[in-house]
Structure 1
Amino acid sequence: MFNRLEVRVLPLGPRWAAQLSFRIDGEEVVTAAAGEGGRGPFAEEALSAEGQGLLWATAEGRRVVLGEPECTGGCCGYLSVFVQRHGGIVEWSDWRVPANEARPPAFHFAADQYDAELTRALTTFAS
């Protein structure tokens, strides 16, 4: 059984450019692991053109920063995950979390659903 990813583009705020919010199986990931008041990644860096943004999964894989606590990642650490494509599966694993926060488990997404969700979020951001 695969996990389900939902990506929301949050509106521009007074302090930040447009950011992303992630829900996996209905649970908000950044808030759960980085605490209230933290922020997600900037939409432009994480999405950009298909295959170019940090969230697009490749066979080589890469570490992606998904958020930071309100006090900044330089203070308490960033929320990051290793994103890698294994054929028809995209895996989020090897989480690194801000100090004193719980480490999420590995998640596995159907690659088609994952790519479609990133494309949908990119379209929302670009419009």
Structure 2
Amino acid sequence: MFDYLEIGVLPRGRRFPPSLRILVNGEDVVAGAVGETGRGPFVADVLPAGGPGLLWATGEARRVELGEPECSGGCCGFLTVVVQRLGGIVQWSGWEVPYTEDAPPEFHFDADRYDAELRRVAAVR
């Protein structure tokens, strides 16, 4: 069984440009790891208007920053994950989590559904 990815775009805040809310299986992965007052990745960084962004999975493993706590990533560290396409599967693994040992589990997404979700969010950004 595959995990289910859902991405939402949060509006610009007072301190930050628009960011993403990343849900896996209905759970907010970023808030779970960096706290409710932290933030997810900026839309422009992850889904740039000019082409594929950091979340697009390829055969090459790539570490992606998904969020930071309210105190800032420079202080406490960033939430990062390794994203890689393995045939028809997109894998998120190798989590690095700021100031906690409770990392999210490894996730496996159906590659076609994963790509469709990224295209959907890119279209509404």
Give yes or no for TM over 0.5: yes
Equivalences for 1:105-120 in 2 at 5 Å? 105-120=105-120
Aligned counterparts, 1:1-127, within 5 A = 1-49=1-49, 52-125=52-125
What CA RMSD, in Å, does the superposition of the two structures yield over aligned residues?
1.2
Could you tell me which amino acid in structure 2 is paired with residue 119 of structure 1?
R
Aligned length: 125
The Cα of 1:50 is off from its aligned counterpart by: 8.0
Q: Deviations over 1:45-86 (max 9, x none)?
A: 101258620000010120000000000011111000000000
Residue identity opposite 2:89 in structure 1 = I
**Structure 1 length as normaliser, TM-score?**
0.94
Mind listing any 5+ residue stretches in structure 2 that lack a counterpart? none
The one-letter amino acid paired with 1:95 is W
- Report deviation, 1:101: 4.6
Alpha-carbon contact 1:50-1:56 (below 8 Å) kept: no
Is the deviation greater in 12-21 or in 47-56?
47-56
TM-score, with normalisation over the residues of structure 2? 0.96
